[in-house]
Amino acid sequence: MTRPSRSRSLLIIAAVAVAAAVLGWMTRPDTRLAAAPSAPAAGAFAEMVAVTLPERLEPAEQRGQAVFSARCAECHGPNLGGIDGSGPPLVHKYYEPGHHADMAFVLAAANGVSAHHWSFGDMPPVEGITRAELIDVIAYVRRVQRENGIF
């Protein structure tokens, strides 16, 4: 009679889990008053640099934004503002076209980057990204840079 007793103990475990969840919910801290109106939306995290995003993007820039979100944002920040501990802001004087030309973006994605400007560590190569996707990413990055006085 192993099966019925196993299922009975599973039932007990499930009941305990539900009770714990209900108890946790009932005793949850009330965050409604603590949240200031200017607090970032749930799931948002602070970038290192405050970035102004353009109101409208050209089609290529929109495509670049989508690729950037999928392949670069985890380190460089969804708005290119950098993430502490992960990667630098691309909205930064270092990355203006005169210092890091478009080719630097192509090479960074293809070969990765050895840490030299910052102490985040190396950037790994971005696997499987196409040249066409990178051209759109560069269009997007340059647009956001210009919007923030970096050109």
The stretch among 17-25, 29-37, 47-55, 119-127 that binds ligand HEC (CB under 6 A) is 119-127
Tell which residue, 67, 70, 64, has the closest CA to residue 138. Answer: 64
Q: Which of 49, 97, 118, 125 binds ligand HEC (CB under 6 A)?
A: 118
Q: Which of 51, 109, 144, 150 binds ligand HEC (CB under 6 A)?
A: 109
* 106 touches ligand HEC by CB under 6 A: no
Please state, in angstroms and rounded to a whole number, the distance separating the CA atoms of residues 36 and 90: 29
Cα-Cα-Cα-Cα dihedral of 139, 66, 42, 52, to 10°?
A: 10
Residue 143 makes contact with ligand HEC by CB under 6 A = no
Q: What CA–CA distances, in Å, run from 41 to 35, 44, 46, 139?
A: 10, 6, 11, 28
Least distance to ligand HEC, CB of residue 41, Å: 23
Rounded to a whole number of angstroms, the minimum distance from the CB of residue 105 to ligand HEC is 4
The answer to whether the beta carbons of residues 38 and 50 sit under 8 Å apart is: no
Q: Cβ distance 112 to 125 under 8 Å?
A: yes
List the x/- string, 64-83, binding to ligand HEC by CB under 6 A: -------xx-xxx-------
CB of 40 to ligand HEC, least distance (A): 22
Q: Quick check: 144 binds ligand HEC (CB under 6 A)? A: no
Inter-residue contact 80 to 93 (CB < 8 Å): no
Positions touching ligand HEC (CB under 6 A) are 71-72, 74-76, 86-88, 100, 104-105, 108-109, 113, 115-118, 120-121, 123-124, 126, 129, 137
